[in-house]
């Protein structure tokens, strides 16, 4: 069994393209060492991230992310056990959903289209559905947490 964790957070730090590239590279290296995989999504200053892997490693990484001052209103959406990862082989996929008619904030940072295809093919999976909905502009579960780190199930 592996731990699957999906959270969303607000962006407090203005990432540049080099910042985001560095973050993704560091994440992929760290995740590879700890058996963690997943995907990071960005839409209009909000992040949604899927983490999958050994329970202790995923929980420790989430705790570190939740205390990172670059995030606000970190909200755990799903914490579950699975027999297999939703995104096998992805140490940290990436996708940005630009606002209608606008260029991506991270122009030049390519979306991992194969990871998105896996999300699309997982039609009945609620985590995949939440991630697809997020990228297509669906409302994100509300905040009001004042940057508190709350663990709750909202899906």
**Residue 120: C-alpha distances to residues 87, 113, 144, 146 (Å):** 11, 10, 31, 33
* Token code pair at residue 4: 């699957």
Share of the chain above pLDDT 90, in %: 60
Residue 107 clears pLDDT 90, i.e. is over it: no
The pLDDT score that the predictor gives to residue 90 is: 93
CATH of domain 2-151: 3.30.70.100
């Amino acid at each position: 069994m592996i731990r699957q964790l999906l959270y969303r957070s607000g962006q407090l730090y203005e990432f540049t393209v080099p910042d985001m590239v560095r973050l993704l590279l560091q994440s992929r290296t760290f995740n590879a060492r700890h058996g963690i995989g997943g995907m990071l999504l960005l839409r209009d200053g909000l992040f949604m991230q899927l983490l999958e892997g050994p329970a202790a490693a995923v929980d420790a990484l989430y705790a570190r992310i939740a205390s990172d001052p670059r995030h606000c209103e970190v909200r755990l959406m799903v914490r579950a056990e699975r027999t297999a990862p939703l995104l096998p082989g992805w140490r940290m996929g990436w996708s940005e959903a630009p606002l209608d008619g606008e260029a991506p904030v991270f122009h030049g940072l390519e979306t991992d289209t194969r990871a998105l295809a896996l999300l699309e093919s997982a039609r009945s999976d609620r985590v995949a559905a939440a991630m697809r909905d997020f990228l297509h502009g669906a409302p994100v579960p509300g905040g009001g947490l004042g940057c508190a780190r709350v663990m709750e199930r909202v899906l």
